Structure 1
Amino acid sequence: MSLRNLLLCTLCVAAASVTVMVSAAAGQSASTVVAVSGTITGRIVDAATGLPLSGTTVAIEPLEAGAFPTRGSGGSAFIQGTRSALTGPGGEYTFRDLPPGAYRLHAQRLGYTPASVEVDLRRSVDTRLSLGLGIKPLALHPLDVEVAPAPPFLRTRSAAAEIQGARAAVEQSRQYDFLTSDVRALTHGDVVEAVTLGETDLFRALQRVPGVSARDDYTAILWTRGALWDQTRIYFDGLPLYNPTHAGWTVAGVNPEAIGVAFFHPGVRSASLGEGAAGVLDLKSRAGGGKERIQGSSELSLVSLRLAADGPIGEGRGGWMFTARRSYLDWLTQALESWTSAEDVHIPYRFTDVVARADLRLGEGWALESSILREWDRVTGDLPELLHGNRARWGNSAGRITLHSPLGPLRARHTAGMSWYSAHVRRELDPAANMAPSPVPSPLPPTAPPMNNTIAYASLGT
């Protein structure tokens, strides 16, 4: 063999050796990067029904320390090795890329008994594991939530948006309390926007309701569907009022500042409001104590002076409300008569009404509320050439007390109340008027015994 051929053979053998070594090295590198991991998947179901449980928390942790290598210097292998997941709509869960080893699988869901199971994951093997959870009812402590609804008879005098909000609130209250669709509800915005005579008037505001009118522009009494005033019944907190007007039917006898909600029934009404051939006006007093401190307001109109006050009872235990109104025409004419030395100017007439209410929470669903109304007209003095030493008063009085108590899932209401109308008149003829000749004899004797009339109504119900 020549030297040239010997060199060629040597180079070929060397090249083959290099190729084998590179291939072997490549084979060793490939064997080190092959993933050695597995997957655990399964479903969590209800043990009794077999239905999937979505939203179940599933956690997996290694039983041997070091199954998941610690990353960095901080933390433990257990904390970094634990994984968790939530089951989907079908109750499925999946844990991927798990190194071979022993694991513990936990499943927990509110209302079910937690379950744990151990599983041995082998090299490159997918394992399917499903668990069934048994129902475990939770005993929850009772939680009392008290929400004070916004009074639908809101006192909003300016903002149109607030007035509309009050009307929406009272309409929801009407639909909740009554099945009949012809029930009409009044808000303070309706009272303010109504045509009045000297001051805001509750009865005149009802003339905005279809089918309701007044006899004339000067009276506040209502004619419902053509029926006379005595065919419309007025109720205050479930008690009837008899002719609740002032100053010869020109002013309503109930201060609107004392009303929480007003419902007018021109047709069908509940059995508790059975009286009233033409219609029923159901007035509810408003609860007081909406603030943590005493607050009040006053108003001077062309007819009367009005006062209102609210305040709390205890620390969130309840509240109270008080309103009063009095006409001042007698004061004004008396002052005018004394200042100008004029005669026959004083008008000895006045009207007054007072409304008060108190609410007290007794705890555990028990509550006590009471309200009272007193309105009267009074004439005290002489009417020249007609009456001498005249004394007269007439008006309504009403009061009730209500106890609210729990009755299983329902609430019971026990009410006792009374309403009465009284009139007392004592009159004498003016002696000077009797001495004057008259072609028509006077129907009144020089003196007359006092006249006393009373109408009473008592109510007791549950």
Structure 2
Amino acid sequence: MKDARSGETLIQANVYLVETLQGSTTNNSGYYVIPDLAPGRYTLMASYIGYEDFRQAIELMPGENRRIDIEMAPAVIQGRAVTVEASADSSIEKEKPIGVINVQPLFVKEIPSVLESDLFRSIQLLPGIKAASDFSSGLYIRGGSPDQTLILLDRTTVYNPSHFFGFFSTFNADAIKDVRIFKGGYPSEYGGRLGSVIDIYNRDGNRKEFQGRASLGMLASRITLEGPFSGGSWMLALRRSTLEPLLAVLRNNVDDVPDAFYFYDLNGKINYDAGPNDRFNLSFYTGTDNVEFPVAENTEFNLNYGNRTLSANWTHVFSHQLFSNFTVTGSEYFNYPSFLLSGTAFERDNEVVDLSV
């Protein structure tokens, strides 16, 4: 299932048959399956928040497996009066996951925040999630400390997802497609943490036309480029802090102002459809914070830290009953402090690197 304008896959969309009320939801790759259908005529319905409902009449023959690719057209939802009434339970048996929250990018962008929109600052407003402090984007989820939360970006672990010593998260709101938060009881595919899971997916890029947008904020400036190529799409999102003018003013009036204090991050993704049943994508992220702080004459403290991630994924549909994802991921967190004392440099390199399949 895809967006009709951009070709972006839609996650957690609802698909069902009107006559039998059998249904399903799209997975993280946009695929859905409604198994064990008897031959006959049906009406296929699909719905997703912010899109027009999709409706199509289909006829299944004995032994037939039908593939129907759906494109949903975006639509403006008109507000209206809401009447709440009691009714009998529906015969549809839906999976009701406990402690799972889906966060849409529009929610992140519209929530008021300090200086600019931030994913972690936004989800701190959700039930069961609390900020570590007013000056930190760290999350306490159902009592679990920030280090007990597994954070994934396109299936890759991000170890220290923060800029400015934790004041902002590393995730660019312009690059995010979907966020799922498991506050407890998460599936077996996740592991390595005691508390909760935040699973983030970046956008695939516009499959219909080239697009670009830029913004200038009080904290950072952002530029996003995306577009199609033969058989696929690509997306690049760059963000960099813009504190240099403020620091220049402070140096004239305040002592002990850093000589340099900035961050940047870059998100990228390439998608390629090798056929109707095969899809490949390559996703990467790199982000760095740099601080240069003069302590005294001939004495300076410098710190450079950040994250780098890379993931490659192959999605293959063997049949209507068998679907697979093969993923290779690599993640690195680095922290390079240095101290200059009377012309002598003291340096230390700290790194966490892992590779998983």
**So what's the TM-score if we normalise by structure 2?**
0.70
Cα distance in structure 1, aligned partners of 2:202 and 2:131: 25
Query: Considering only CA atoms, is the larger Rg found in Structure 1 or Structure 2?
Result: 1
Residues 179 and 347 of structure 1: CA distance in aligned 2, closer, same or farther (over 3 Å): farther
Change in Cα spacing, 1:350 to 1:143, as seen in structure 2 (3 Å) is same
1:194 aligns to 2:117 (yes or no): no
- Residue 207 of structure 1: aligned partner: 124
Q: What's the offset of the Cα at 1:275? A: 2.8
Whether the aligned pair in 2 keeps the contact of 1:395 and 1:423 (CA below 8 Å) is yes
CA contact (8 A) 1:289 1:313 kept: no
Match of 1:233 in 2: 150
Please give the secondary structure, in 2, of the residue aligned with 1:204: helix
In the aligned structure 1, how far is the partner of 2:311 from the partner of 2:94? 21
Contact between 2:287 and 2:308, CA under 8 Å: does it hold in 1?
yes
Partner SS state of residue 244, structure 2: helix
Secondary structure of the residue aligned to 1:191 is helix
Q: What pairs up with 1:282-321 in 2 under 5 angstroms?
A: 282-292=199-209, 294-314=210-230, 317-321=231-235
Residue 455 of structure 1: aligned partner: 352
Instruction: Show structure 1 runs of 4+ deviating over 4 A.
Output: 137-140, 142-145, 159-162, 176-179, 340-347
SS state of the match for residue 165, structure 2? coil
Alignment correspondent of 2:53 = none
List alignment gaps of at least 5 residues for structure 2. Answer: 1-60, 80-92
- The 8 Å contact of residues 219 and 241 in structure 2, kept in 1 or not, is answered as yes
Q: Which residue of 2 aligns with 1:272?
A: 189
Q: Does 1:407 align with 2:340?
A: no
- TM-score normalized with structure 1 length: 0.55
Change (3 A) 1:337 1:184: closer
Q: Aligned in 2, Cα 1:138/1:417: closer, same or farther, shift over 3 Å?
A: closer
Aligned-pair identity (%): 25
Q: 1:426 to 1:193 in 2, by over 3 A?
A: same
Distance 1:161 1:428, change over 3 A: farther
Higher normalized strand content (fraction of residues): 2
CA distance in 2, matches of 1:387, 1:244: 33
Q: 1:373 to 1:149 in 2, by over 3 A?
A: farther
Deviations 1:241-295 (Å, cap 9, x if unpaired)?
1121000111111111111100001001112212332211110111102432x11
In 2, Cα distance between equivalents of 1:281 and 1:455: 20
**1: distance between equivalents of 2:244 and 2:95?**
44
| Counterpart in the other structure of 1:356 | 268
Cα separation, partners in 2 of 1:213 and 1:161, compared to 1, 3 Å: farther
Paired with 1:221 and 1:139, the residues of 2 have a C-alpha distance of 53
- Work out which of the residue numbers 278, 281, 284 in structure 2 matches 1:366: 278
Q: Which amino acid aligns with 1:239?
A: T
- Cα distance 1:243–1:386, how it changes in 2: closer, same or farther (>3 A)? farther
CA contact 2:179–2:199 (8 Å) conserved in 1:
yes
Instruction: Specify the alignment match of 1:322 in structure 2.
Output: 236
Greater helix share, structure number? 1
SS in structure 2 at match of 1:273: coil
Q: What does residue 378 of structure 1 align with? A: 290
CA–CA distance in 2 between the matches of 1:266 and 1:412?
26
| SS of equivalent to 2:136 | coil
CA–CA distance in 2 between the matches of 1:178 and 1:416? Answer: 29
- Identify the match of residue 394 of structure 1 among 286, 290, 305: 305
Residues 275 and 303 (structure 1 numbering): CA distance in 2 closer, same or farther, change over 3 Å?
A: same
Matched residue count: 284
For residue 230 of structure 1, what is the amino acid of its counterpart?
A: D
**Higher relative contact order (CA closer than 8 Å, sequence separation 6+):** 2
Distance 1:306 1:237, change over 3 A: same
Superimposed CA distance per residue, residues 20-56 of structure 1 (whole angstroms, 9 cap, x where no aligned partner) = xxxxxxxxxxxxxxxxxxxxxxxxxxxxxxxxxxxxx
Residues 400 and 147 (structure 1), Cα distance of their counterparts in 2 relative to 1, 3 Å cut: same
Provide the residue aligned with 2:133 in structure 1.
216
Q: 1:408 to 1:386 in 2, by over 3 A?
A: farther
Query: After the TM superposition, which of the residue ranges 389-398 and 276-285 deviates more from structure 2?
Result: 389-398
Gaps of 5+ in 1: 1-136, 163-175, 432-445
Aligned partners of 1:289 and 1:318 also within 8 Å: no
| Separation in structure 1 between the aligned mates of residue 268 and residue 279 of structure 2, nearest angstrom | 17
How far apart are the structure 2 equivalents of 1:177 and 1:382?
56
Q: Is residue 396–residue 421 contact of structure 1 (8 Å, CA) maintained in 2?
A: yes
